[in-house]
Amino acid sequence: MNSTVVADSVRAAIARNAASTLLARSTALAACTDKPGEILRTFLSPAMERVHQRMQPWFETAGAIVSVDRAGNLRAFYPSASNENSPRLLIGSHLDTVPNAGAYDGVLGVLMGLALVEGLSGRKMPFAVEIIGFSDEEGTRFGIPFLGSRAVVNQLDDALLGKDANGITIREALSDYAAGHPEAIETSLSSMTTGYLEFHIEQGPVLESKKLALGVVDSLAGQSRCHLVFNGRAGHAGTTPMLLRRDALAAAAEWMTRCEMIASNVEGLMATVGQISAEPGGVNVIPGTVRCSLDVRHTDDTVRGQSVRVILEEAHAIAARRGMQVDAEEYHAQPAVHLDSAMISLCDKAVRQAGYASIRMTSGAGHDAMVIAPHLPAAMVFLRSPGGISHHPDESVLEEDVAAAIHAGLCFLDEFALFLAEKEGNPIA
């Protein structure tokens, strides 16, 4: 068959049927877990292997050739109408989970790729489609995220010595995997790959608050992580007068409310203190030392950098006023990633063509697209998360929103074909 554009009513009908199949498949894959009683799948684990086995016949029936690569990523190749040297569109997300996960984070994006090639009903595009199920995004096993996507863009080397809870390094885990999977293909991307598209549940409440099914992501926020230690003085809770105390926890608490206020006054800024411990920790002892974390996110790296400085200066000022010291250190900084404007426009157009309102969104969470975007023109589409619930067994997605995403995705495939043809100066009829 050729790449004749399909009528929109046909796409809508295909999408409605495919949405219920996608949800049933998500439920089936949720049963592949490393921990009975909850959903947990980690890098190169037995449950991940079972997910690959479950998915393989689905992809093969859709006309795709299925492999795993040496980093344990599932790779399904749906050929183009012409030949092997055609451009290639990569569609994917991750198949690993956090502990006690929901059934859609990551998996949905991989099943979307499958639903889209199935939705072509045997029709071949002028480009090949490769669907990728990344082996690790969450970092659950090694504490280091994005192992699957980093391997694909050859940026795993500095993580290879990371160890899991059993002392196994990533390097060892990979070489064991390669030994058990001699058929595994090269991990790196084909040089013909010309774009990356990721569908993902939003993991937040924005689309729901706007009563929208879909959103087009234009950027992923940069992140700073800091450690702080407030060094006060421990003392007797009954004998130390209030004005003579150096209560490290009271200082930290004052600083935390300032963090909240500072972030609330800057558009798009998120600042979170997620961990705190007080020592010595006695009910009748004034806290002498408080250790806490700080996570700051914004899509503008300058705003993020300035905000981190202001928030840490505030910690020093509060500590000084209370007669104590604070040690503060930024130990991790990940720059913001801006997705590709041409790919974003194609997504906007596809969502509108499918009959849905389109908004541009920022992702506060990290995604595989963040790792891929510096190497390939990338775009992301979010699906509404009911209740904004994510990384939780109650995470869900509405069937009608999945249908919207599949419909928009099918429109995207035709838009992408036109885009490639125009780029090559060879418009297709």
Residue numbers at the binding site for Zn ion (CB under 5 A): 105-106
| Cβ(119)–Cβ(13) below 8 Å | no
Nearest approach, Cβ of 381 to Zn ion (angstroms)?
13
Q: What are the two backbone dihedrals, phi and then psi, of residue 153, each rounded to the nearest 5 degrees?
A: -105, 20
Query: DSSP per residue over 335-376, as a string?
Result: --EE--HHHHHHHHHHHHHTT----EEEESS--HHHHHTTTS
Between 109 and 288, whose beta carbon lies closer to Zn ion? 109
Nearest approach, Cβ of 94 to Zn ion (angstroms)?
6
Distance CA 47, CA 129 (A): 26
Between 145 and 232, whose beta carbon lies closer to Zn ion? 145
Between 197 and 294, whose beta carbon lies closer to Zn ion? 197
| Cβ(409)–Cβ(232) below 8 Å | no
Nearest approach, Cβ of 314 to Zn ion (angstroms)?
33
* Secondary structure class of 284 (helix, strand, coil): coil
Nearest approach, Cβ of 257 to Zn ion (angstroms)?
31
Between 105 and 395, whose beta carbon lies closer to Zn ion? 105
Name the DSSP letter for residue 112. Answer: H
Between 143 and 355, whose beta carbon lies closer to Zn ion? 143
Nearest approach, Cβ of 9 to Zn ion (angstroms)?
33
Over 81-109, what HEC string results?
A: CCCCCCCEEEEEEECCCCCCCCCCCCHHH
Q: How far is CA 195 from CA 29, 70, 188, 373, in A?
A: 27, 22, 14, 9
In the numeric block, which tokens belong to residue 413? 């495939």
**HSE value, Cβ hemisphere, 13 Å, CA-based, for 198:** 34
Between 164 and 202, whose beta carbon lies closer to Zn ion? 202
Nearest approach, Cβ of 331 to Zn ion (angstroms)?
23
Nearest approach, Cβ of 366 to Zn ion (angstroms)?
8
Between 200 and 246, whose beta carbon lies closer to Zn ion? 200
Which residues lie below 8 Å from residue 183, measured CB to CB, with a gap of 6+? Answer: 67, 68
Query: DSSP per residue over 248-272, as a string?
Result: HHHHHHHHHHHHHHHHHTSTT-EEE
Between 106 and 222, whose beta carbon lies closer to Zn ion? 106
End-to-end CA separation in angstroms for the chain: 15
Nearest approach, Cβ of 30 to Zn ion (angstroms)?
14
